[in-house]
Amino acid sequence: MMNFAHYTNQKNPTQAVNQAVEAAKKANAKLNAVVTLVDPGEQLSQLEKYAGGKMFGIPIVLKDNVNTRGILTTAGSRILGNYVPQYDATIAEKLREAGAVVIAKSSLDEFGMGGSNLSAATGPVYNPYDLTRMSGGSSGGSAVLVASGVVPFAIGSDTGDSVRKPASYNGIVGYKPTYGRISRYGIIPYASSLDHVAFFTRNVTDAAIALEVLSGRDDRDMTSLQLPVEDYASALNPSLKGKRIGILTNVLKAITNPDIQAHFATLVANLKEQGATIVDIEMNQDLLSAILPTYYIIANAEATANHSNLDGLRFGVQKEGKEVDEVMSASRTAGFGKQIRKRFVIGSYALFVENQDKLFRKAQKVRRLIVEDLKNALSGIDGLIAPASAGVAPKLTDTSMDQLSSTYLIAENYMVMGNFSGYPSVTLPLGYCDGLPVGVNLTCKLYDEQTTLNLALAIEQATGLADQIKEVA
């Protein structure tokens, strides 16, 4: 079993890390998941300093929006195609001090702005279960490198389900903690009020260990929580005696795939057998239908502002012009992909003075109502579950879904509630449909990582789907 313990218990971490590098090269030929392979030599030469670390000797991957000192960091964009950070993100420091060894920076939708990984400057990432299907995004490269067995852990970021959706499409665990639990210092942003550092593992115990390593107050991120780091792994307890689990019925009604419904029903029956009380939870349908447009307005508006510093003048790829304005326009036109320019235009539209009340402020108010409805839904239960997507990973060319249907608006986008609210939320493997994985999502109360992990462990034991790997030949 290639879990954390497999790596931390072995006598020769150098060999294990080098094997992971070779595996990454081989898998990448099929998956196109890597932006930069990192030579681990220098890290290995320093590794003994971190002996006893919770992730000692574990080869890991970072999404390429994590600043890494001296290592190319592109955020999946052409405009940062030559950007070499001069500092480490806080999480890069924490992982190094825990003994982890970075072997690659992984592909993402440009600046994390997408759910398909099709907008990455390096091209699409392919799903290891079916290379004609998408990885999901925006943390697609990280997801497939964990799913294909290259590494047992990878960092992603989750602004609108960008870890939890690809986890579903790739049969692995995708954990998004409470907003502010993990420092965002040094993460190239997408939308600051929604951005979370999140991560992939192949089982819940490893997720608990990783959360211990990554959590904690960081004065360099002013939204970082002033809460102590807990011993999540040693406190893991999958007992469901006395636990109340809610089923989000709006999502189930919006899903038409009978295999997913059947897998979910089996899981629910199993949780009941283990002693959980199952409660149907119906949230306000109008609010759930408004999640996607609310997200689109807030996220794109924040992104438009956040990325105004990408002008080709102080860093990044510069194109020539006679005046500063021309340099900026030429650099930004050549540097941003068309999907991102589209999103910036929409974000700018929502921020115009004449649209602010109707769109931007309205969306921020609707956000509050959605979060209040979620809070009420969770008030009498320990956790809320539903399938993590309406189907398996789509084909790379599939754009057929009706974007005003409840299947799309609710079943494909409800997990964004976790970003609006900042509540901890995790996707776990639920089962397989014709050999392709689908996931189940669990969301719990603000700050309550331990209950999230405990219930996640109970779900993992119920499905028996820990440590799933799909190697690519």
Partner 1 sequence: MNRYEPEYFKSLAKQLRFSLSDEEARAIADEFGVLLDQMDLLDKIDTEGVEEMVYPIEEETSFMRDDEVGHTFTVEQALFNAPHQANDHFVTVKVVG
Of 162, 83, 99, 169, whose CA–CA distance to 134 is shortest? 169
Q: Please state the closest distance from residue 266 (CB atom) to partner 1, in A.
A: 33
Cis status, amide bond into 138, omega within 30 of 0:
yes
H or E element, residue 459: helix 449-463
Q: Which is nearer to partner 1, 244 or 365 (CB)?
A: 365
Q: Please state the closest distance from residue 333 (CB atom) to partner 1, in A.
A: 4
CB distance 88 to 68 below 8 Å: yes
Buried b (16+ CB within 10 A) or exposed e, 231-270: ebbeebebebeebebbbbebbbebbebebbeebbeebbeb
Instruction: Please say if 400 is a catalytic residue.
Output: no
Instruction: Please say if 77 is a catalytic residue.
Output: no
Tell me the CA end-to-end span of the chain in Å, nearest whole number: 19
Q: Which is nearer to partner 1, 124 or 180 (CB)?
A: 180
Q: Which of 77, 138, 142, 421 is catalytic?
A: 138
> Which residue do the tokens 């890597």 mark?
34
Nearby residues of 421 by Cβ (< 8 Å), 6 or more positions away: 179, 370, 371, 374, 375, 446
Q: Please state the closest distance from residue 168 (CB atom) to partner 1, in A.
A: 22
Q: Which is nearer to partner 1, 316 or 429 (CB)?
A: 316
> Which residue do the tokens 């290592």 mark?
71
Q: Please state the closest distance from residue 399 (CB atom) to partner 1, in A.
A: 11
Q: Please state the closest distance from residue 221 (CB atom) to partner 1, in A.
A: 9
| Residue 322 burial (CB count, 10 A) | 7
Q: Please state the closest distance from residue 105 (CB atom) to partner 1, in A.
A: 16
Q: Please state the closest distance from residue 127 (CB atom) to partner 1, in A.
A: 26
| Residue 371 burial (CB count, 10 A) | 17
Separation CA 361–CA 358 (nearest Å): 7
Separation CA 55–CA 63 (nearest Å): 18
Q: Please report which residue ranges of 194-323 form alpha helices under DSSP H.
A: 204-214, 249-254, 258-273, 285-289, 291-306
DSSP classification of residue 229: P
Q: Which is nearer to partner 1, 148 or 224 (CB)?
A: 224
Separation CA 207–CA 155 (nearest Å): 11
Amino acid (1-letter code) at residue 109: D
> Which residue do the tokens 């360099």 mark?
220
Q: Which is nearer to partner 1, 238 or 321 (CB)?
A: 321
Q: Which is nearer to partner 1, 94 or 243 (CB)?
A: 94
Instruction: Please say if 365 is a catalytic residue.
Output: no
Q: Please state the closest distance from residue 87 (CB atom) to partner 1, in A.
A: 8
Q: Which is nearer to partner 1, 193 or 461 (CB)?
A: 193
Q: Please report which residue ranges of 274-380 form alpha helices under DSSP H.
A: 285-289, 291-306, 324-335, 338-351, 353-355, 362-378
Separation CA 44–CA 63 (nearest Å): 20
Q: What are the angstrom distances between the C-alpha of 458 and each of 186, 245, 273, 380?
A: 34, 11, 12, 19
CB distance 324 to 313 below 8 Å: yes
Separation CA 207–CA 152 (nearest Å): 10
Q: Which of 162, 224, 389, 421 is catalytic?
A: 162
Q: Which is nearer to partner 1, 15 or 352 (CB)?
A: 352
Q: Which is nearer to partner 1, 133 or 181 (CB)?
A: 181
Q: Which of 54, 63, 94, 165 is catalytic?
A: 63
Separation CA 286–CA 250 (nearest Å): 11
Q: Please state the closest distance from residue 194 (CB atom) to partner 1, in A.
A: 8
Active-site annotation, residues: 63, 138, 162
